[in-house]
Amino acid sequence: MAAEVLSIAGVQVDVFDAMPSVGRKFLLAGKGGLNITHTEALDVFRSRYGARYAELAPLLDAFGPEALRKWVQDLGVETFVGTSGRVFPREKKAAPLLRAWLHRLREAGVKFHVRHRWLGGVAPNEGLRFATPQGECSVLTDARVFALGGGSWPQLGSDGAWVPQLQKAGVHVAPLLPANCGFDVGWSEHFRTRSAGQPVKPVVARLGRDERQGEFIITETGVEGGLIYALSAALRDEIATHGFATLHLDLAPARSLLRLTDELSRPRGSRSLATHLKSQTGIAGVKAGLLREVLTPRDFTDPARLAAAIKALPIRLIAPRPLAESISSAGGVMFAALDEHLMLRSHPGVFCAGEMLDWEAPTGGYLLTACFASGRAAGLGALAWLQQNGR
């Protein structure tokens, strides 16, 4: 996005990428259907960025969901809105969009250099040092935009290796942390072998005052999936503070506590407890397994206690999964280190954009939209700086 803004203005732009081809994480984002953005009201959309609302709001006001959809359509890729309000390309794939975009950039004179891994050089008067298949090289620029990614999916280039380089240059960087990630629980061997890979749906999850409905998946080590990702920032921070986080699950959101208590109080006769539970409440399979994993045998003999557990089953999460496994990352270059144009205050002419900035957001189009918006803002900032300095 920065390259596009600058090249349209007539600036000579070179893009250096560590990987053998560009846009690898973008292509991965489209593997299950490229969720570009979301159609919800802009004030609600902005609120998805939590603690970084104030910093990202101006960028999203300048290039938000509607502007992004038009930009995609201008590249010849039609979009549609899914039932959840999420926006996708008509074919749901990232590759056609990336091909059209790269073609337009090359037509505008942008030069791409792959297999160039940045080794150092922050300030414009320092050469950018790269490791290449032909050996190390150095490149001088009038301005530069760093878009080095977070720390998730290191196999695609986002490995966070840039952090010590910027810290060495005096740039304040918040530690990279997993975001939109799964969590470890420490299941029993019995439950793990029987339930790993099973979806749990529909459920309502509560953490403090935050309550969400959706579904998640039991993993070998714990839990993951959309409902967990939506709460992951709060869960991660709770674990960091207290050493664990307790997520309460309503396994029967369509039934009231009173109704469940009444249903479970009915005589079961010669039927097994599992059969009685299923016939009266619809709880079976992995949901019944979760109850057995958490509750004591005595809890199952008390209809009131069992009903209360079904409506608020406590699941103790003990650790987020490693950063390399997460969908995205939190932390990065602090906004206090940047001006309103995303230029480093300590290094005039140097701009930062994308996931390497200190923000996070849930899945649903919010991550990509903010990356696009920040790239555009950094490009415009670099253009203004070059013009002001007669370059």
pLDDT digits (tens, 9 = 90+) for 215-239: 999 999 999 999 999 999 999 999 9
pLDDT in tens, 372-383: 999 999 999 999
The C-alpha atoms of residue 191 and residue 213 are separated, in whole angstroms, by 23
Pair (192, 119) in one structural domain = no
| Domain final position from 320, 350, 376 | 320
Pair (50, 20) in one structural domain = yes
Q: How confident is the model at residue 93 (pLDDT cuts 50, 70, 90)?
A: very high
Pair (140, 101) in one structural domain = yes
Query: How is 259-326 classified by DSSP, letter by letter?
Result: HHHHHHHS--TTS-HHHHHHHHH---HHHHHHHHHHS-HHHHT-HHHHHHHHHSEEEEE-EEPPGGGS
Give the residue among 25, 32, 30, 26 at the shortest CA–CA distance from 155: 25
Pair (120, 190) in one structural domain = no
The C-alpha atoms of residue 360 and residue 332 are separated, in whole angstroms, by 10
Pair (229, 301) in one structural domain = yes
pLDDT of residue 80: 96
Pair (281, 175) in one structural domain = no
Pair (60, 161) in one structural domain = yes
pLDDT in tens, 122-141: 988 899 999 999 999 999 99
Domain range spanning residue 355? 2-179+327-388
Does the pLDDT value for residue 118 go beyond 90?
A: yes
Average pLDDT over residues 340-360: 97
Pair (337, 252) in one structural domain = no
Does the pLDDT value for residue 177 go beyond 90?
A: yes
Q: Which of 153-157, 175-179, 242-246, 317-321 has the lowest average pLDDT?
A: 153-157
Pair (192, 167) in one structural domain = no
pLDDT in tens, 246-273: 999 999 999 999 999 999 999 988 888 8
Pair (189, 169) in one structural domain = no
As a whole-number percent, the residues of the chain with pLDDT over 90 amount to 95
Pair (56, 159) in one structural domain = yes
Does the pLDDT value for residue 31 go beyond 90?
A: no
The C-alpha atoms of residue 52 and residue 68 are separated, in whole angstroms, by 20
pLDDT of residue 12: 97
Q: In what order do the strands lie in the sheet with 86-89?
A: 37-38, 86-89, 79-81
Average pLDDT over residues 26-55: 93
β-bridge mates for residue 263, sequence order: none
Q: How confident is the model at residue 290 (pLDDT cuts 50, 70, 90)?
A: very high
Q: How confident is the model at residue 203 (pLDDT cuts 50, 70, 90)?
A: very high
Average pLDDT over residues 49-76: 96
| Domain final position from 304, 320, 336 | 320
Pair (123, 247) in one structural domain = no
Q: Which CATH number covers residue 82?
A: 3.50.50.60
What rounded mean pLDDT belongs to the chain? Answer: 96
| Domain final position from 261, 295, 320 | 320
**Residue 379, SS3 per DSSP:** helix
> How many domains are contained in the chain?
2
